[in-house]
């Protein structure tokens, strides 16, 4: 298989260590990355989120919801491949295939989004953000380490997931994750709305190069559709998107997730990574500047973060994941200019890992931000 790095456009400018701008050396960055990896994967009981089990498996534990989720497992795999940690990657993937894979029913070919640490499924359906990250992490693993015997035939496993995301339901059983009419990823298969934080056009561009040849056009359309969708979903004055949104990008109010809240934090991180890998677009810079300016004006103290309407109106509820919010806001620094981004780079560098019950989600976003801003979140 041709390496996906060959498909990076000439306009891309990846892998810059932005912390140089605030006087942080490469050696300090490397130490911090190692510190974060060791604490999250092998640290004490108040910090770690990774737990090996048996001789050849392990899981990422959602410490706030007390389960194992496809979100966390796929995040763990992406972090492992970025860190060149094949043993951890293979343990996570083996656990995923053993306990999360759905072999029968309308969601056959997908993964149960919530499972107990003992392997008992708590859900019979998937959450598409897990499948997206599984597929991308598997493709990177294939390019970095090579394929071997199932289930470690990484590229075949990835293409199987990508095929299911597009074609499930064509035989009348089940539903795809990508809406065939508008090429937008769905919140769950079979629904008629989306989650802006699920939109990963930078992944879709790479999927198009690595999927079954017949699906090339569909993944290219998904990338284009998501790019336009994110422009509509982000408020022009604040840069915020909602947790759930309609197909036109407007906040969806039926489920009570019309706010800029936990899921939505990832939108800024995703836009930043897309710009890093595939070149900046003017609308991305506008979004990054808007959201960084809004929060800087309102203070960057963790205990000051609230729930927000996308227009910036505060709801009288504290943010559940303030560490994750500051981390993703800092990711926008790949698109903003000095002195604005310097403020965020300094704030993020001083931000510690979160400890305690809610640490899982915050620290995953923290680690992705650290890799991105230091030039270590790479295409393989």
The answer to whether 165 and 176 are in contact (CB under 8 A) is yes
Distances (CA, A) of 291 to 137, 225, 230, 248, 301: 29, 22, 14, 21, 15
Find the Cα–Cα–Cα–Cα dihedral 263, 369, 241, 165, rounded to 10°: -60
- Return the ∠ at Cα 191 (arms to 188 and 193), rounded to 5°: 90
The answer to whether 256 and 317 are in contact (CB under 8 A) is no
Listed residue (2, 62, 13) closest to 276, CA to CA? 13
The Cβ of residue 34 has, within 10 Å, a number of other Cβ atoms equal to 11
The answer to whether 201 and 274 are in contact (CB under 8 A) is yes
Tokens 């609308």, residue located: 283
Is 170 assigned a catalytic role?
Answer: no
**Token pair for 289:** 């500047």
Catalytic-labelled residue, pool 71, 131, 195, 215: 71
The answer to whether 137 and 81 are in contact (CB under 8 A) is yes
Is 255 assigned a catalytic role?
Answer: no
Catalytic-labelled residue, pool 131, 132, 195, 263: 263
The answer to whether 251 and 244 are in contact (CB under 8 A) is yes
**Token pair for 158:** 């990835």
**Token pair for 367:** 């680690």
The answer to whether 372 and 328 are in contact (CB under 8 A) is no
Give residue 129's Cα distance to chain centre.
Answer: 7
What residues contact 306, with CB distance under 8 A and at least 6 apart?
A: 314, 315, 316, 317, 318, 319
Residues tagged active-site: 71, 263
């Amino acid at each position: 298989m041709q390496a996906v790095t060959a498909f990076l456009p000439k306009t891309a400018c990846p892998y810059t260590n932005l912390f140089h701008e605030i006087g942080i050396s490469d050696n300090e960055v490397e130490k911090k990355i190692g510190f974060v990896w060791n604490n999250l994967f092998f640290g004490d009981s108040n910090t770690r989120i990774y737990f090996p089990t048996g001789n050849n498996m392990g899981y990422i534990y959602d410490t706030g919801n007390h389960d194992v989720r496809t979100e966390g497992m796929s995040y763990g795999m992406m972090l492992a491949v970025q860190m060149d940690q094949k043993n951890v990657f293979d343990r996570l993937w083996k656990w995923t295939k053993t306990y999360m894979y759905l072999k029968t029913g309308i969601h056959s070919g997908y993964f149960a989004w919530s499972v107990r640490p003992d392997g008992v499924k708590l859900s019979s359906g998937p959450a598409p953000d897990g499948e997206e990250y599984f597929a991308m992490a598997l493709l990177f693993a294939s390019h970095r380490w090579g394929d071997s015997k199932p289930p470690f035939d990484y590229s075949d496993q990835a293409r199987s997931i990508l095929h299911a995301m597009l074609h499930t339901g064509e035989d009348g059983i089940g539903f795809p994750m990508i809406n065939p009419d508008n090429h937008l990823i769905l919140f769950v298969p079979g629904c008629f709305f989306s989650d802006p934080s699920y939109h990963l056009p930078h992944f879709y561009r790479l999927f198009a190069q690595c999927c079954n040849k017949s699906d090339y056009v569909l993944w290219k359309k998904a990338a284009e559709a998501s790019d336009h969708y994110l422009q509509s979903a982000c408020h022009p004055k604040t840069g915020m998107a909602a947790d759930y949104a309609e197909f036109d990008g407007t906040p969806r109010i039926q489920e009570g997730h019309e706010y800029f809240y936990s899921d939505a934090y990832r939108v800024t991180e995703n836009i930043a990574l897309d710009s890093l890998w595939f070149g900046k677009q003017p609308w991305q810079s506008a979004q990054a500047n808007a959201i960084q300016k809004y929060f800087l004006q309102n203070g960057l103290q963790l205990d000051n973060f609230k729930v927000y309407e996308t227009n910036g109106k505060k709801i009288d509820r504290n943010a559940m994941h303030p560490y994750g919010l500051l981390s993703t806001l800092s990711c926008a620094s790949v698109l903003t200019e000095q002195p604005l981004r310097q403020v965020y780079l300094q704030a993020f560098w001083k931000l510690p890992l979160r400890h305690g019950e809610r640490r899982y989600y915050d620290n995953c976003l923290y680690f992705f931000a650290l890799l991105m801003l230091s030039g270590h979140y790479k295409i393989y």
